[in-house]
Structure 1
Amino acid sequence: MLLNMIFCSYLSVIKWLQNNLIPCPFKKLTGIDCPGCGFQRSLIFLLQGNLKQSVYMYPAAIPIIITVIIALTAKIAPATKQSPLFFRYAYTFTGVLITASYLFKIINRY
């Protein structure tokens, strides 16, 4: 019974997220996707367990989430000794992936 309630509330959260996506002000003003367009839908696909569709929608979503989790963990628990070089590589990889996927999207669209 408890598992059923958790599952139903999980589904209602996903449904709420689908119905309340935040509109992109950059796209609204220019008509062009911004580098972050697709992240929300990708996150919803990821929460639904559809990894392939999530990566297709926005390839940088998973690296962004992992990078944020690592950065928050290091901030909250500084006892973990991560090298600053590791963070630099994580941030650089995520930034390059965001830029590459955005350029790919723009080139294929126009």
Structure 2
Amino acid sequence: MLSPENYMLPCLNKQLFGFECLGCGSQRAVSFLIHGEFVAAFQMYPAIYTLIPLFIFIGINFFFKFKHASKLINTLAILSVVIIIVSYIYKLTT
């Protein structure tokens, strides 16, 4: 049976150094979202809920320019980075 999990890229950082990178879990979180498992997606990679709106808005803004788009993009990007770093530190300490 074809499953997206069979085609996920392995983490090179984890294979070489033995610990996860800042992006580990993002592919599985997207897979969980596709399958409707929203809580599992958040537990796997909390920044998924800020990254997806960020990428969608950047894509829409590419075709339709908004007046204050840069403020929203910067806010979502900063929020995403903060969530990624905090969740990464939490993973390392638990």
Q: Check whether TM > 0.5.
A: yes
Deviation at 1:76, TM superposition (A): 2.1
List runs of 5+ in structure 1 lacking aligned partners.
Answer: 1-11
The offset of 1:73, in angstroms, is 1.1
Contact 2:51 2:76 in 1 (8 A): no
Report the CA distance between 1:66 and its aligned residue: 1.0
How does the TM-score come out when normalised to structure 1? Answer: 0.79
Corresponding position of 1:56: 43
Residues paired across the two proteins, number: 94
Q: CA RMSD in A?
A: 1.4
1:86 Cα deviation from its structure 2 partner: 1.9
User: Between Structure 1 and Structure 2, whose CA radius of gyration is higher?
Assistant: 1
- In structure 2, distance between residues paired with 1:53 and 1:83: 31
1:16 and 1:95 map into 2 onto residues whose CA distance is 30
TM-score (norm 2): 0.91
Matched, 1:87 2:73: yes
The gaps in structure 2 that reach 5 residues or longer are: none
Query: Moved runs in structure 1, 4+ residues, more than 3 A?
Result: none
- Between the aligned partners of 1:84 and 1:21, the Cα distance in structure 2 is 32
